[in-house]
Structure formats: C-alpha cells, structure tokens
C-alpha cells in the first residue's frame, strides 16, 4: 500500500509560516505571494483535517496540534536538507582509485590516508591492495604504486621513494639473544626471518646482501629460520618475537618510533629499486591526478631526505 504523505510545498509553507509567525514573512522567504502561502496552509489543514493556525490580526499562532505538526515538519525538512547536502557534496567530488602493492598499502599508504584526503578534499580516495600487474582500464584504476619502474612500459612512471632495510626485532628479543654490543657475526641462521619476495620484485635484497653491506660477508642458508612471503609479514613476525626481520624502514616506521622494534645494528641496505607511481598517459587523466601525485610525493619526501 503506498504511503499517504502531505504535499511538500504545503509542508514548506507551513514550516516557514510557523517559524516567522506570519504568511507575509514566509512568502518573502519562499519567493511567492502571501495568498499562495495561505492556499498551501489550507491544503495542509484539509489533508490533516485539523486547524493548524489561529488567524490573528497581527499574524498567526500555532494551535496545539499545529505545534506538534511543526516539530515533526522541522525535523523532516532538516533530514531532507542533510540528504541534499550529502548528495551535492558527492556530486562535486570525484573518486580516485589508487592500486598499491600489498605491504606498502597496509604499512605505509594506509597510515597516510587521512593526510592524503585532506590534501585533495575534492576527491574520494579508494585504495586497493593487490599484486602486479594490474589492468588500469578493466579494473578502473587511476594510479598505481608499485616497486620498480619496469612493469608498466605503456604508462608514465616516476619514482616515489627508495626504502632501506635494517635488521629489526623487539627490545626483549635483542636482549635475550645478547645482540647489543656484539657484531653481526653472532647472528645465527635460525634467528633470521627470511622474506620470499613477490616475482614482480625483479631485484630484491637478501640477508647475504645486508651482511656484505655491513662488512661481514656471509650467505645464510635458506630454509633454516622462519620465512614469510610478504615484507609486512616479516615485520609482524619480528613484532611477535619470532626472530629478526630484514625490515623496511618505511614500513616499520611507527614501530621503530614507538620503540616496539629496535635495530640492533646501524647498517642500512638501500633497496635496489625505488617504489614508483604509475599513471596513464592520457592528458586529461594526468591533469585530474596531478594533485594526488603531488600529495603522495609530499608525504614520501621525508623518506628521501
């Protein structure tokens, strides 16, 4: 059964008249004649079959039932106005779909989403954590953040920042393993969390690379200690006290700053390639994405210092 609702114009005329205490002031607000306002009030009274106003020489005064109707009408119009404002805001903001490799999405981009949204208030930001490669057109992707500058030759690619790796573990683990004050030579293979990098990481670092950088060349055997298939999981395992991760500084920044993770050795190994921003070559889309790209570069700037 369809709802039986009063006419909206009559509700608006009634609410304005009750608020102003007269038809003349209501007509000025609504841009109609006082007679038109009076006609709408009559329609509403006929609809409800009640008298809503006492007509007085100086204006109008709500009846008891009129006061109850006025309260409900005011709340209903406020709700309608709020909905209208929400729809209008959405219509003036466009959606930007950012696709990002998994670990970076979870441990870097997500941490900066509020700042990114504040820098581009005319856009809704949608983030998708997914592996390479992605099809921009089929997936509706506007911008991709990936590792390296080699995967999307038919798109524009620009470096975002180059991360570094450093051994990371909890303070408790470092103390129990006797790491403070000792050289990396004391590290045992069973303590080293091994990361199996994604195939898209065509150049990726290993514990052997870090030992060489630190001046203690050795090649730890694989399959001895704990192992994960994502850099973010290596950091999570270190946080759990499982062992020592060769962790990315950008991904572990909050945990390092809070003291939940410590670096028992100062040597940092730069990643072989930078993280990069990939965008379509369409001039129209490049213009639309320019502020988002600039905001991302601003957020990544401290990592390049």
Cα 231 from Cα 22, distance rounded (Å): 70
Which of 124, 131, 123 minimizes the C-alpha distance to 105? 131
80 HSE (CA, 13 A, CB side): 9
Tokens encoding 45: 């009274």
pLDDT of 81 reads 86
CA distance 256 to 167: 11
> Could you list the pLDDT tens digit for every one of the 305 residues in the chain?
677 889 999 999 999 999 999 999 999 999 999 999 999 999 999 999 999 999 888 888 999 999 999 999 999 889 888 877 766 555 446 899 999 999 999 999 999 999 999 999 988 999 999 999 999 998 899 999 999 998 999 999 999 999 999 999 999 999 999 998 899 999 999 999 999 887 766 667 899 999 999 999 999 998 899 999 899 999 999 999 999 999 999 999 999 999 999 999 999 999 999 999 999 998 778 888 999 999 999 999 998 76
86: burial class by Cβ within 10 Å (0-12, 13-18, 19+)? exposed
Tens digits of residue pLDDT in 206-225: 999 999 999 999 999 988 99
Q: Is the pTM for the entire model greater than 0.85? A: no
CA distance 226 to 191: 8
Residue 49's pLDDT is what? 92
Boundaries of every domain in the chain: 8-91, 94-162+274-304, 164-270
CATH number at 164-270: 3.40.190.10
Q: Same topology for domains 8-91 and 94-162+274-304, yes or no? A: no
- Rounded distance between C-alpha atoms, residue 107 and residue 184, angstroms: 27
Host H or E run for residue 128: strand 123-129
Please say whether the structural domain 8-91 has been given the CATH code 1.10.10.10: yes
The C-alpha atoms of residue 68 and residue 137 are separated, in whole angstroms, by: 55
Q: Which of 3.40.190.10, 3.30.300.30, 1.20.140.10, 3.40.50.360 is the CATH number of 94-162+274-304?
A: 3.40.190.10
Q: What angle do CA 10, 13, 15 make, to 5 degrees?
A: 105
Residue 288: the pLDDT is 85
The β-bridge partners of 228 are 195
């Amino acid at each position: 059964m369809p709802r039986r609702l009063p006419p909206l114009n009559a509700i608006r005329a009634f609410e304005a008249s009750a608020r102003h205490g007269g038809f003349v002031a209501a007509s000025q607000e609504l841009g109609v004649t006082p007679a038109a306002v009076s006609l709408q009030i009559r329609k509403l009274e006929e609809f409800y079959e009640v008298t809503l106003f006492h007509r007085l020489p100086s204006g109008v005064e709500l009846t008891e039932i009129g006061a109850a109707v006025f309260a409900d009408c005011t709340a209903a119009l406020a709700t309608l106005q709020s909905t209208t404002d929400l729809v209008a805001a959405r219509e003036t903001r466009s959606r930007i779909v950012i696709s990002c490799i998994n670990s970076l999405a979870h441990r870097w981009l997500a941490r900066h989403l509020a700042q990114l949204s504040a820098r581009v208030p005319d856009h809704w930001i949608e983030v998708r954590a997914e592996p390479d490669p992605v099809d921009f057109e089929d997936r509706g992707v506007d911008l991709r953040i990936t590792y390296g500058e080699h995967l999307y030759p038919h798109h524009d690619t620009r470096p975002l920042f180059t991360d570094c790796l450093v051994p990371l573990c909890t303070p408790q683990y470092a103390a129990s393993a006797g790491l403070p004050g000792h050289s990396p030579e004391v590290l045992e293979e069973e303590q080293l969390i091994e990361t199996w990098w994604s195939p898209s990481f065509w150049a990726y670092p290993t514990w052997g690379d870090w030992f060489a950088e630190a001046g203690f060349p050795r090649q730890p055997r694989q399959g001895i200690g704990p192992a994960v298939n994502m850099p973010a999981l290596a950091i999570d395992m270190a946080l759990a006290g499982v062992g020592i991760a060769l962790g990315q500084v950008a991904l572990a920044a909050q945990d390092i700053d809070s003291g939940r993770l410590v670096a028992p050795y100062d040597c940092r190994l730069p990643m072989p390639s930078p993280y990069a921003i990939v965008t379509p070559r369409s001039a129209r889309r490049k213009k639309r994405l320019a502020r988002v790209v600039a905001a991302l570069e601003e957020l990544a700037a401290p990592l390049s210092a």
